[in-house]
Structure 1
Amino acid sequence: MGAAAALSDNGFILALATWIWESDPSPLVSPTICLDSLPLLSSPCLSRLVAKTIGIGIIFASCINKAPVIWNILQSKSVAGLSVVASYGEVILYSNAAFYNILRGNPFTAYGETFSVLLQTMVVISLIWAYEPKIGKADIVAAVAAYCTYLFGVFRVLTPNTHYILMVYNPIVLVSTRGAQIRANFVNKQTGAQSIATTSMNLAGSLVRIATTIREIGFDFHILRSYGASVTLNAILFVQILIYKANTKQFLDDLKKKKTTKKE
C-alpha cells in the first residue's frame, strides 16, 4: 500500500498535500504522486515544497518590513528623508502586484507579502500626513479619492484580457518611486528615516521571489520583470544608505538637538 493510500483517511494531511502540490503545472507533481514518494520526495515534489516554505517565510518576514522605518519616524518625530511621491507610488506598486495575482488566481504563497507591506506602507503614509506640515487636509482627501478611483478601475473596469496592464505599469511605477527616493537621497546627501534593515529585506525578498515565482507560477514575464527592476533599484538604495550613513547620523543628531532646544 502506498503512502497516499495509507494517509487517505487523514483529512488534514490530504488537505495539506493538496494545498502544496495540486496547482503545480508539472505532470510529475500531484498530491498522490508526492505522497507516494514519501519519505524521500522526488525532486519536482521537493522543489515545490521548498518554494511553498520559502514563500511562507517571506510572508512572515514581510510583517516587519516597514517596522524599522516606522520606528525611526516615531523616535525622531520626523519624516525627513522620506519621499512622499515614493511612498504614494509604493502603495500603487504593491497594490498592482497583489491585485494582479488575485485576479490571475495565483497561489497566495507567491505574493502574500505584498498585502503585508501594502498595509505597512499605508501606516508610513499616515505618519507622513501627521508629521509633514506641508501636507494639508485637502491633499489627504485627494489622495484617498485617487486610491478609491484606482480600486474601482482595477475591480470594475479591467477585464481578464487586460489584467496584465497592472504589471505592465509596475516597472514604470517602481522606477518613478524608487527613483524619486534615490534622487532625494542624492540631493540631501543623507537618508533620514530610511532603514537599512527594510531595504535589505526588500532586496533579498525580490531576489528570492524571482526563484519562487518561476517555481510556483512559471515564467510570468510581467512579474519577473518587476522583481528584476526591484532588485536593481533596492541595491542602489542599499548602497546609498551605506554611503550616507555618517551624514544621516549627523542629521538625525542635529534634528534631535533642535527639538530638545525648542522644548527648553
Structure 2
Amino acid sequence: MESWPDPSWLPQVLQVLGSRSGSGLSIPGLLLELLALVGSVAYGCSRAFPFSAWGEALFLLLQTMALGFLIQHYGGHTGRGLLLVASYWLLLGALLSPQAPPWVVTFLQGANLPIIILSRLLQAATNYRQGHTGQLSGLSTLLLFGGALARVFTSLQETGDPLLALTFASSAACNGLLLGQLLYYRGGHSPKPPPRPKMD
C-alpha cells in the first residue's frame, strides 16, 4: 500500500490562509503535535519500516509546520514562525543522525501517546474556554479522525507494531472529541460561563 500526502491538514491550512487568522487554534497543542510527528518520522526511519507505514507522518509534519508558521505570521510574529520551522527541522535532523541514541527515538515514539492526547485536549480546552471552535476546520478534523481509524489496522498489517496501533487509536479517540465539539458549538451551543467571584 503506497503512502500519499495526507490531505487532512490541508483544509485547515486553507482555512487559515482564507481567513488570514489562526484564532481559536491552540499553539501549545500544535507544538506538541509537531513533536509527536517528528518522533513518528524518526521512529519509522530508524526501524526501517516501509515508507507507507510512516510517510503519512512526514506529510502531516510538513503541513503542520506550514500551519504553525501561518498562525505566527498572521499574528504578527513572522520571525517566531520561521524560528519554529527551523527548530523542528533541526530536531528532525538530529534524530535521523547516526549519532542519535536509539533509545531517544524509541522514547519519543512511546511518548507519542500522551503527547497526542495532551495536544488534542489542549485544543478541546481552548474550544471550551472560548465557547466556539474558531478557525478549527471541520473537514480536517473529520479526515484526521477517519485516517487515524484506518491507520490502526494498516499499521498492524504493515509493521505488527502494537505501539503504532495504540498511538493511532488514541489519536482517533481524541479527534472524535474535537469532532463532537465542532458539531456541538456549530449547533449554537456554548459552555456555561464560569461563576463570577462574589464581591464583598
Counterpart CA distance in 1 for 2:44 and 2:15 is 32
Is residue 2:21 matched to residue 1:78? yes
Residue 191 of structure 1: how far off its partner (Å): 0.8
Counterpart CA distance in 1 for 2:85 and 2:59 is 19
Is the Cα contact below 8 Å between 1:189 and 1:247 reproduced in 2? no
Residue 162 of structure 1: how far off its partner (Å): 4.6
Is the Cα contact below 8 Å between 1:164 and 1:222 reproduced in 2? no
Instruction: Name the residue aligned to 2:88.
Output: 147
Residue 75 of structure 1: how far off its partner (Å): 2.1
Q: TM-score, normalised by structure 1?
A: 0.65
Counterpart CA distance in 2 for 1:170 and 1:94 is 8
Instruction: Name the residue aligned to 1:175.
Output: 117
Is residue 2:173 matched to residue 1:232? yes
Instruction: Name the residue aligned to 2:182.
Output: 241
Instruction: Name the residue aligned to 1:191.
Output: 133
Q: Which runs of 5+ in 1 are unaligned?
A: 1-51, 249-264
Identity between Structure 1 and Structure 2 (%) = 27
Q: After the TM superposition, which parts of structure 1 deviate over 6 Å for at least 4 consecutive aligned residues? A: none
Is residue 2:81 matched to residue 1:110? no
Residue 136 of structure 1: how far off its partner (Å): 6.7
2:164 equivalent among 223, 233, 243? 223
Is residue 2:1 matched to residue 1:60? no
Residue 112 of structure 1: how far off its partner (Å): 1.4
Counterpart CA distance in 1 for 2:85 and 2:146 is 31
Counterpart CA distance in 1 for 2:22 and 2:188 is 16
Residue 74 of structure 1: how far off its partner (Å): 2.1
Is the Cα contact below 8 Å between 1:190 and 1:247 reproduced in 2? no
Counterpart CA distance in 2 for 1:227 and 1:182 is 18
Counterpart CA distance in 2 for 1:75 and 1:159 is 42
Cα distance change on mapping 1:66 and 1:148 into 2, 3 Å: closer
Pick which of 153-162 and 113-122 moved more: 153-162
- 1:128-139 equivalences in 2 (<5 Å): 128-133=71-76, 135=77, 137=79, 139=80
Is the Cα contact below 8 Å between 2:69 and 2:78 reproduced in 1? no
Is the Cα contact below 8 Å between 2:148 and 2:168 reproduced in 1? yes
Counterpart CA distance in 1 for 2:106 and 2:156 is 17
The one-character-per-residue Cα deviations of 1:59-107 (angstroms, maximum 9, x if unpaired) are 4361x22221122212222111111111112211111111110110001
Counterpart CA distance in 2 for 1:78 and 1:162 is 36
Residue 151 of structure 1: how far off its partner (Å): 3.0
Counterpart CA distance in 2 for 1:190 and 1:112 is 33
Match of 1:75, as an amino acid? G
Residue 148 of structure 1: how far off its partner (Å): 5.1
Counterpart CA distance in 2 for 1:208 and 1:166 is 22
Q: Which has the larger radius of gyration?
A: 1
